[in-house]
């Protein structure tokens, strides 16, 4: 079933169902990826192992979003649940992050309309990032981290049916978390509006933190989409575009950091690529600031009350 609460579905059962389905798919993806050896990496295509790891990590984030949506209902049970899925995903995070840099170079080259990063330079950077990925991927396999991640995810998944949710769970249990997630994202947006023309490196972590807040809100809207599909789907799409812009900004920041720290290029070429990176980061940040008011201009309390009201009516939740 999709990542959504169905109309007339018991709320606690729905949340456990969705979390369980996401965890199961994550386990399947890890198993499929582990079937591909590290020495089979093709520098022109996605590595099937990475595809499995990437999907499993996304599934873990979705489970964590489900838990966060019912955080107040879970009470003290929330923190260990969140930590279990977070830590399982982290075990294979380094290799996934390494391939993301290859993808980031491809995006950098594709969007370099001003030719700030010439094709031959981009090709050299890409080659360096592919070799870096091979090293990280091999180290991950040698340390048996994929299998360890699979065991950790399986153990976390086994506990989903025991999530301490109240038997008579009502939609009102969700409002504090929706409000909390929206408020934190809105606060970050307000803080960052005046940083658009600053050196992007100065606020990398703040913009990355904002992305995490936006992504949780996006997942919460997705879970409630059946309350009013036309409106909620449009909101989810908007939040998706916003997280994409913020995610690409952070990926570019990491690429610049790696180039400067590991120096696969000479100093002149490194600064040439970093210049192209920063130019794209400015564009992405401006794009994000054009989208953000459509979600964050509205104060948190009416936003959260509106979503919960729609959920109560459209999903038949008390």
Q: Tens digit of pLDDT for each residue in 261-273?
A: 999 999 999 999 9
Mean pLDDT of the chain: 94
Q: What's the pLDDT tens digit per position in 75-121?
A: 999 999 999 999 999 999 999 999 999 999 999 999 987 778 899 99
Region 180-206: mean pLDDT is 96
> Where do the structural domains in the chain lie, given as residue ranges?
1-168, 170-318
Tokens of 64: 């964590």
Amino acid 45: pLDDT: 64
d(CA 194, CA 198): 8
Q: What is the mean pLDDT of residues 53-69?
A: 97
Question: Residue 24: exposed, middle, or buried by beta-carbon count in 10 A (0-12, 13-18, 19+)?
Answer: middle
Reduce the secondary structure of the chain to three states and give it as a string. CCCCCCCCCCHHHHHHHHHHHHHHHHHHHHHHHHCCCHHHCCCCCCCHHHHHHHHHHHHHHHHHHHHHHCHHHHHHHHHHHHHHHHHHHHCCHHHHHHHHHHHHHHHHHHCCCCCCCCHHHHHHHHHHHHHHHHHHHHHHHHCCHHHHHHHHHHHHHHCHHHCCCCCCCCHHHCHHHHHHHHHHHHHHHHHHHHHCCCCHHHHHHHHHHHHHHHHHHHHHHHHCHHHCHHHHHHHHHHHHHHHHHHHHHHHHHHHHHHHHHHCCCCHHHHHHHHHHHHHHHHHHHHHHHHHCHHHHCCCHHHHHHHHHHHHHHHCCCC
The answer to whether 19 and 165 have CB atoms below 8 angstroms apart is no
């Amino acid at each position: 079933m999709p990542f959504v609460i169905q109309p007339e579905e018991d709320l606690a059962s729905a949340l456990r169902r969705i979390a369980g389905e996401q965890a199961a798919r994550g386990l399947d993806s890890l198993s499929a990826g582990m079937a591909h050896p590290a020495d089979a990496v093709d520098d022109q295509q996605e590595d099937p192992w990475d595809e499995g790891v990437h999907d499993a990590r996304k599934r873990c984030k979705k489970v964590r979003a489900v838990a966060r949506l019912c955080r107040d209902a879970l009470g003290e049970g929330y923190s260990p649940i969140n930590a279990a899925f977070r830590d399982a995903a982290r075990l294979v995070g380094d290799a996934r992050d390494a391939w993301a840099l290859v993808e980031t170079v491809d995006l950098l080259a594709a969007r370099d309309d001003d030719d700030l990063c010439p094709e031959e330079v981009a090709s050299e950077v890409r080659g360096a990032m592919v070799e870096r990925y091979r090293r990280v991927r091999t180290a991950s396999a040698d340390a048996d981290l994929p299998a360890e991640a699979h065991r950790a995810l399986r153990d976390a998944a086994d506990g989903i049916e025991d999530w301490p949710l109240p038997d008579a769970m009502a939609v009102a249990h969700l409002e504090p978390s929706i409000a909390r997630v929206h408020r934190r994202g809105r606060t970050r947006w307000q803080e960052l509006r005046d940083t658009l023309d600053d050196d992007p490196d100065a606020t990398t972590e703040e913009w990355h933190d904002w992305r995490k807040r936006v992504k949780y809100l996006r997942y919460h809207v997705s879970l409630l989409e059946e309350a009013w599909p036309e409106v909620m789907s449009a909101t989810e799409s908007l939040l998706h575009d916003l997280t994409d812009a913020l995610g690409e900004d952070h990926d570019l920041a990491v690429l610049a950091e790696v180039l400067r720290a590991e120096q696969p290029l000479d100093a002149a070429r490194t600064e040439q690529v970093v210049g192209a990176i920063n130019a794209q980061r400015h564009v992405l940040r401006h794009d994000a600031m054009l989208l953000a008011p459509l979600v964050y201009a509205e104060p948190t309390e009416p936003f959260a009350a509106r979503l919960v009201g729609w959920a109560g009516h459209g999903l038949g939740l008390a």
